[in-house]
Structure formats: structure tokens, C-alpha cells
Structure 1
Amino acid sequence: MTSRTASPRSRPPVWLLPFLWTLALGLWGLSRQHSVWRDEAATWQVAQRSAADIWHMLGNVDVVHGLYYFFMHELFVCFGPSTTVLRLPSVLAMAVAAACLTVIGRRLAGIWAGLAAGLAFGLLPAVQFYLQEGRPYALVAAGVAISTLLLVTLLEGRGRPMCWAAYGATVLVCALLNWLSLLALAAHAATLLWARPQRRMWGRWAVASAAAMAGALPLIWISRGQSGQVSWIPPLTWHMMIGPAVLLAIGGLGAVADRPRSGRLSVAAVGLPLLALPQISLIGISLVQPLFLDRYILFSMLGLALLIGAGLGAAVRVAAPRFPRASSWLVPAAVIIAVAALLPQSLAKRSPESRVDDVLAAAEDVQQMKQNGGAVLFVPAARRDTKLVSPNAFSGLRDIALATSPDASGTLKGVEATPDQIRASMRTQHRILLVTDAGKVSKPASAERDRVKLAVLKKEFTAVADKQIRGRRVTVYERH
């Protein structure tokens, strides 16, 4: 006689639902109405350079993202540049992270805690933002999730010795994508302290961690010489602590609900350090050098999701004896309520207005407003990314301030001529098209070259057309 109920082995794995859930959230509105903002534009234009040109650039700038640029370069070579290829790696990475959280939560606190953690992860506002971002932060989060799952597996006695090699390799890859991911090692050390494993476990963890840090040291050393790239990050202020404080409070409630006990591996022992220590460590680092940006420690949201899962799992356990049927709907109901409450924010994050600007929209304006034989200027020079991402839109225009191209100079924006040379070139032009920031996000020109550009335009030219869209401004000037 054949049983009507499926055996446990024939059922789909529990992690599959959060994986597909997060994948669906990522694919929803993936193109953001065919918009690309300035950070993603850096990925787009660098990934289209040759491997030799990327290597040349890393010696001058952005070495911290070198591995990611080479990865995206290969994807663009294979599939061509598009918003889908640009962002899909982040979507898949977050889906993998959600699956890892589900497995961790299920092992340590039961199926409902695992499902809640995996489903909650994709709904967190910070995760929804970087879920569709053509930058490496989602990949780092996935790597930290994998390394955390490997650590839990080893602490449970399930893993083989080769798992330590996989753990160290994963930590190293994360560090090569963003070396601040090494802050996750502090969280893993705290988990080990709480779980009190055998001494040999400590030794193996120390070896794997030390090997990963040693592999990342050259990158850290070189990137310190390029620290001027992060000089724009503002100093730490008290109001910047509000967000981390709220997250820690929410996570703390989940940890209390999990009822952690010293000497026992639990969701709280894994999730709370992963949430708290990267936040606290980056705050400490930022007291010396301002570096506090949520994307640098996006992986700490893994800890928050685990703790939310632990809280919901505990609620199911409490309700099950009295309300066995209703308790099984607790997690689905919580997810539905969260989706409804976060829907306005979810829609907003999938709109072009969710980012500070839109490079592609500005390029479309240039295409419509240009006249062949005219000139183009960029203020600041970093707005040349509009041309680098959409070169066809600028065909027929001469970039009169550019002395050495980005590829040849090994830079993101190229090297411009001297202020006097720029002034002389402008005075030979009848019509100049200016690409700059829209009023609401623009800042006073700080570079002497940019001040010269604006001064000559104001004194010797008249604006005859002007368009502002999604953080960028395109103005056409003609000589008086």
C-alpha cells in the first residue's frame, strides 16, 4: 500500500522557498525603469574595459573593488552590458544568503525560525536597496552567510576537515570584495566564545582566519594608499547612531526570545554577534577615520534576520500547545503584514528616484539636445560617467576639457587639461553642452578647473536650453 503523504526526502528543501522568495523580490522591477546611478555607472564603465586596462586603473584607484570589476568584466564579455547583467549577480547572491539563513535557523531553532529568518531577510529595507545594486555588497553578504553556515556546521560536528579550507577561502573572497567584511570574524569569534567548543576547534578556526587575513593584507595595504577616495564620508555624529541602536534593540528582543544559554550553540549566539559587532567595530574605526556607511556592513543584516526568525520561531512554539492550527499561520501572517507595511518603501526603492541620480536619463537628454560639431563639458569631472556609460549619445561632441582618457590614464574619470587650457578651448567654441548635477543635489565647484568652466560659461555664453531629470542637469550654452 502506497502512503499518501510524501516522505521527508521527497519534499523540497526548506531553504528553497526563501531562495525563490528573495529571487522574486530581486527580479521585481530589476531595471528600475532603465536607470543607472553614479555608483553603478562606475561598475558599468570599468567592466567594459580590457583586463589590462582594469589592472592599470587599480594601481591608481578603486583597488578595493578589483576582484568585483574583473568578475563583472567577464560577465559583460559573455552576456553583454545591460541592467540585468549588472544587477542579477546581486539578486542571486541575496537569494543564496537567504537560503543559508534558513538552514542555520532551522538547525538551531527549528523549521519556523529558519523559514522566518530566510523570508525576513529579503524584506529588510537595506537588503531591498542593495538587492538590485550593481556593486559588490550583496556578494559580500552572501559570502559571509556561507562562511557562517560553514562555521555552524563545523561547530555542530557535521563538517569534514576540508570545511575549514572552504571557510577560510570564503572569508578571503569576501575580503577581496570588501576587506571590511573581515569584521565578520569578530562575530564568529564571539560565537565560538559562547558555544565553548573544544580547544582544537579554536585552533582550526584561528588558522583558517589567519590565512584569510594574510591573503587580504596586500589589498588592505594598497587600498590604504587610496584612502582619498573615501574622504567624502562625513564624520560620525550622534544622529548616525540612531539606526544601529534601533537595529540592535530589535535584534536584542529576538535574542531574548531565543533564550540563549552559555555553552550552547543557538540562533542568538550566531545572530547577535553578527548584527552587533560589525556595527560597533565600524563605529570605532570611524572615530579614527570616517567610514560609517551601512553598505560596508550590509552583511550584519544577516544577524538581524536570524534574530527576527528566532523571535517568530519562539512565538510559534509558545502558541502551538494551545492553538496548534493557528500557530502554523503565525509566520506566513507576519510575512504578509510586513509585505503590506513595507510596500510603499519597496515600490520607492524600485523607482529611479530612489537613487541620487540617473546616468542613462542624462545621456538621453544629451542625445536630444546636442548638435554635431559642438563641445561638451562636465562639472565635476566625475559626471563624465554619463559619456562613459553611453558613448553613442555623445557622438559628434568634442570633450574639450579632457587631456587623457580614463583608459589611458588608469582613472575613473580621465585627466583634464589645465584651467588655462580649458579656458582657451572654451573661447574657440560657439556652442557648449554642460552635464552637471541637478540643483537639489549639486555642490559648489571645488576644483579650479570646474570654477573656470562655470566662470567662462557665465561671462561669455548664454543658456539657451536646460533640462533637469533624476539628479542630473544638461544645459546648452551659446556664445553671446
Structure 2
Amino acid sequence: MLTQPVTAVPLPAPADTVTTKRQPAWPNRLWLLPVLVTAVLGLWRASSIDLWWDELSTIDIARRPFSGIIATAGHVDAVHTVYYLFMHVWIILFGASPISVRLPSVLAMCGATACTAVIAEKLFDKRIGLTAAMIFALIPGVARYAQEARSYGFVVLGASAAFLLLLRALEQPSPRRWKIYGAILALTGALNLIALMAVVGHAVAVLVKARAESDDPATRRRDYLRPFVLAVGVAVLIDLPVIVFGAFEADSQLGDLSRATVSDLPSMWKDIGNSAPFSLLVLLALPLLLSHRKRGPELTILASATFPVVALWFVSLFGVGFDSFARYLLFVLPVWAIAIAAAVDRLWPARKAALIAVILVTAVAVTYDQLQIHGHLSHFKYDYPGASVLPEDYSAAAAIVHANYKAGDAGTFGQSVHIELGVNEYLPADEQLSDIFTQRTDAQENSLTPAYCTSTEACVDKAPDRVWMLETGFVAPYAVERADWSLALMLQYRTVQVWHVWGITVTLLERR
């Protein structure tokens, strides 16, 4: 009797042993959301918020020829030379309107948001990566300096990119990856020397990785420690000219600033993100990092988040004085955001709802600060909620001049280069007010200040029949002019009309 072959049918596996492919923790389409939030908050009112002192200096120096920028670096602002050279090309291509000169910083912060997501994913997982990126995008300090025509946004991008490239080099060590890491680190240091302190956190990451991957000391040195030290050393050598010039200029730029006190550390901490509630969230998160399931990444984030802050404060206690230096530490914000996301994951592991909740809590906590940093004159609150200076409404003063301007009008600005630059920035090209007391402009002096007339009477004699006097503060006319300038003007001119705007007194003078 013929029998049919029996085919064995596998029994279904028990329910608890069936393995399924894990789905992504978050839908892939959400990964653009943090970058979009960064862009929206960075561009919000970017064209209507008045330019302030530092941004005016950027435009002033970036408009000079390459040779002029290099010559200026020999006198002042050598540490910003790389950024000025970039902005020189940018202004040639796209102009110097407020939105134009701020757009590079917005783009840089968007790049830093993406880097934050990938760093957190590599250290932890995709869920924490997206959460950290969303928290970073909501930080008021990110929006504030995304729309600042200075190098801060590029420094945050450079520091986060260097961190990411380090993690890639540790994943698969190769000479090419270590060289790229060193190059980005050098570029970041050229933009802001203080950002080089981030290498302490990098060193912790290298030590953790070296210990985890190999028990052989020779292998650790060959694959991790030696190339890291070499990359950092080359980066410092590349930045040596900036370090030397910056050291020579430290006395002129920082010499009159007071040193820090013990109480400045908590004050500076809240200023870094331009939000006291956000800084409190960071303080609550940091202790939780040490109890996380992944001790190595936590140590890396903890060192990266705290060392630069404490180190710069300590240096200012006993060394060079810094005044409101929180903005020089913005490069710690990506790791601050990662710290919060990782800490929440520690409290409620694998709970998507908890991470969504912390994003919402962050958004609510910083809403008031976001509104404050997006005001018309908010850029004068340069370390909000800490230090600020008297706002000067250049656009309003320029509107008064424009409405009453006559061909040939000139100006005097009470030796305030900022008012001269700011008002002229908002005036049409054919209505620029030249200072009647300036003998050589700041550009001709390769500096940030002009050379004034040696003979007051001669300058006034050559001045036109109408002069606009713009002075700092809500003051009576002539209150802040030099005594000899005031006397000469009062003898030869009469006051036609006086206007007051925020931080500026505008007076129209007409020759008698």
C-alpha cells in the first residue's frame, strides 16, 4: 500500500516567543518638525526687530574689503574675523537688510537642531533624539541668537557638528573621520575660542568608548586616545593665530569688565538659555543622568553640560573679567536639551506620552520668555533675563530724519558710533548723515571708532546749514555732546525742533 509522504507542519510558537520587527518610536515624517520650529521662531519678527550694537558692528566691518577686515583684526575683534569674512561675501550676494544678515544664523541654528537629534539618537535612541531636538528648538536662547547677526548660531552648529562627528569617528575609527572632526573643531574654535572647552565632554566620550570596546591598552591608544589627542592638538594649532591676537586684544576689549562673583554662577546659568524656567528644568534633569540605564552616555552629557559653564565662571573669578558672558556658552544648549530628554526617559522609560508631555511643559514654561525676546527692541536685552542696555530705537529716529530730510543735511552723534551706524542703516542710501566732527571714519582707522576733528571750530565752519543732532537718552539737546562741540553748535546754530524716541533725542539744528 502506497503511503503519501507526511509533511511536517511547524507548530506556532508560543505568543511570548514570537518576534516582530520593532516599529520606529516616532513616525519618520515628524523628524522635520524640530527644524521647522527652529526656523519659525528664528524668523519670527526677524525683519522688524531693530538691529542692535553688535549686529551694527557686524555690518560695518563686513562691508569693508577683505584687506580692511584683516587690518581691523589687528586692532580689535580678531576672534570674529572668520565670521566677518563670511558675512562680507554674504552681504555682497544678498544685501544687508535685517532679515538678510540674520538669515545665516537662522540656518545655522536649524542645522544645530538636526545635529542635536542625531547626537541624542546615537547616545540613546530615536525617541530621545526627537524629544531633545524639539526641546532645543523651543529654547528662547536658540530663537534669540538664531536672529542675531553674529557668529553665535554658527558656534552652536559647529560645536554640535563636532560632537556628532566625534561619535561617528568612535563608531568606526578611521584617519579620514578623525581629520574631519578636527577640522570642524578648529573652525568652531576660530569662531569662538571658548567653544573649545567642549572637548572636555568629548574626552569623556572617548574614554568611555575606549574602555567599553577593548581591554587592551595598546588598542585603546591606537584606535581612540591617540587620534583624539592628535585631532584636538591640530585644531588648537590651527586656531593659534586667533588665540594670540585675541590675547593681545583682551585688555582693550575685556580689561574694563568686572570679574565674576560667587553669585554670578546661578545668574549666568539662567541667562544661557534666556529663560529661568528652562534653566530650572536643566538643573532638575542633570542629577537624574547618573542613574540612567546607560551610564557612559550620561557621563558624557553631564560633563558636556556643566564643565564649560563652571570653567568660564571660575576663570572670571580669578582671571579675565567677563560681563554677561552667558551668550558665549550657547554651545551647551544642545546637550542641555538632551539631558532633559534623557532624564525624563529615565523616570518613565519607553513612554512616548511622557516625552510628549515634557515637550509641552517646556513650550508652556518658555512662552513668556519667547514673547520677551521677540519685542521690537528686545535685542538690547542681550543676556535676557539678565543684563541689558538702554534700548535705542534707530528705526524710529531714522523715520523722523527721513520725514524731514533735505538734501545736504549732515549729523552729529555725541560720539556714539552705534547711533550713527544704526540711524544710517535705516535711512535710504541718498539720505545718509555724515558726522560733521569725524575726520577719519572707523573703517579708515581699521577700528570700531572714528578719529574726530582736532579743530572744532573748523569742523563747524565747514558743516552744512542743517545738522541733525542725535544723542543717547531722553535728554535736553546738547546734554551729551562734548563741551567744545556744544558751544560751537550753539553759537552758530539754532534749534528748529526736538523729538524723543526710545533711547535717542533727535534735534534738528539750522545755521543762524
Alpha-carbon distance, 1:145 to partner: 0.2
Aligned residue in 2 for 1:202: 225
| 2:87 is equivalent to residue 64 of structure 1 | no
Instruction: From 365, 371, 374, give the equivalent of 1:347.
Output: 371
- Measured at CA, do residues 211 and 313 of structure 1 come closer, stay the same or move farther in structure 2, by a change above 3 Å? same
CA distance in 1, matches of 2:462, 2:373: 44
- Selected match of 1:28 from 38, 41, 44: 44
Match among 400, 409, 412 for residue 448 of structure 2: 412
Query: Structure 1, residues 224-260: CA drift from partner, whole Å, max 9, x if none?
Result: 2222123454432344222345688644532333345
Answering whether residue 401 of structure 2 is matched by residue 366 of structure 1, we say: yes
Shift of 1:290: 0.9
The one-letter amino acid of 1:36's match is: L
1:281 partnered with 2:311: yes
Instruction: Check the 8 A contact 1:191/1:273 in 2, yes or no.
Output: no
Instruction: Measure the CA separation in 2 of the matches of 1:388 and 1:60.
Output: 24
1:186 and 2:216 aligned: no
**1:18 and 2:48 correspond:** no
**Counterpart of 1:382?**
417
Of 287, 295, 302, which aligns to 1:272? 302
Question: Cα gap change, 1:168/1:36 in structure 2, threshold over 3 Å: closer, same or farther?
Answer: same
Residues 254 and 153 (structure 1), Cα distance of their counterparts in 2 relative to 1, 3 Å cut:
farther
- Structure 1 residue identity aligned to 2:507: T
Aligned AA (1:154): A
Letter in 2 for 1:406: D
1:352 match: secondary structure: coil
AA aligned opposite 1:339: A
Contact 1:366 1:394 in 2 (8 A): no
Higher Cα Rg, which structure: 2
Gaps of at least 5 residues in structure 1 are 321-326
My pick for the range that moved more, 254-263 or 341-350, is 254-263
The corresponding residue for 2:216 is none
Q: What corresponds to 2:456 in structure 1?
A: 422
Q: Report the residue type matching 1:27 in the other structure.
A: L
Report the aligned-residue RMSD: 3.2
The 1-side partners of 2:108 and 2:141 are apart by 15
Q: Look up the equivalent residue of 2:246 and give its one-letter code.
A: S
Matched, 1:468 2:500: yes
Q: Helix, strand or coil for the counterpart of 1:242?
A: helix
Is this contact kept in 1: 2:42–2:146, CA < 8 A? yes
Check if 1:256 corresponds to 2:287: yes
CA distance in 1, matches of 2:430, 2:485: 19
Per the alignment, residue 3 of structure 2 pairs with none
Local SS of the residue matching 1:408: coil
Q: Tell me if structure 1 keeps the 8 A contact 2:155–2:195.
A: yes
Measure how far apart 1:457 and its partner are. Answer: 5.0
User: For 1:271-315, what per-residue CA distance to the aligned partner results, in whole angstroms no more than 9, with x for missing partners?
Assistant: 222221111121122231112511111112222111111122223
* Alpha-carbon offset, residue 194 of structure 1: 4.9
Separation (CA, whole Å) in 2 of partners of 1:213 and 1:231 = 24
After TM superposition, the structure 1 = structure 2 runs for residues 109-258 of structure 1, keeping only pairs within 5 Å, are 109-155=124-170, 157-197=171-211, 198-200=220-222, 201-227=224-250, 228-244=252-268, 250-258=281-289
1:337 aligns with 2:368: no
Amino acid paired to 1:133 = E
2:331 alignment partner in structure 1? 299
User: Is the counterpart of residue 75 in structure 1 residue 109 in structure 2?
Assistant: no
Range 246-255 or range 183-192, more displaced: 246-255
TM-score by length of structure 1 reads 0.85
Q: 1:403 aligns with which of 420, 425, 439?
A: 439
1:78-97: CA deviations, max 9, x gaps?
12222222111111111111
Distance 1:169 1:359, change over 3 A: farther
Contact 2:289 2:302 in 1 (8 A): no
Separation (CA, whole Å) in 1 of partners of 2:497 and 2:301? 55
Unaligned runs of at least 5 residues, structure 2: 1-20, 212-219, 271-277, 381-391
Aligned position for 1:323: none
* Counterpart contact for 2:290–2:299, Cα < 8 Å: no
Cα deviation, 1:77-116, whole Å, max 9, x if unaligned, reads 1122222221111111111111111112122222232122
Match of 2:111 in 1: 96
Please give the residue correspondences for 1:46-57 in structure 2 after superposition, counting only pairs within 5 Å. Answer: 46-57=61-72
In structure 2, C-alpha distance between the alignment counterparts of 1:332 and 1:261, rounded to whole Å: 19
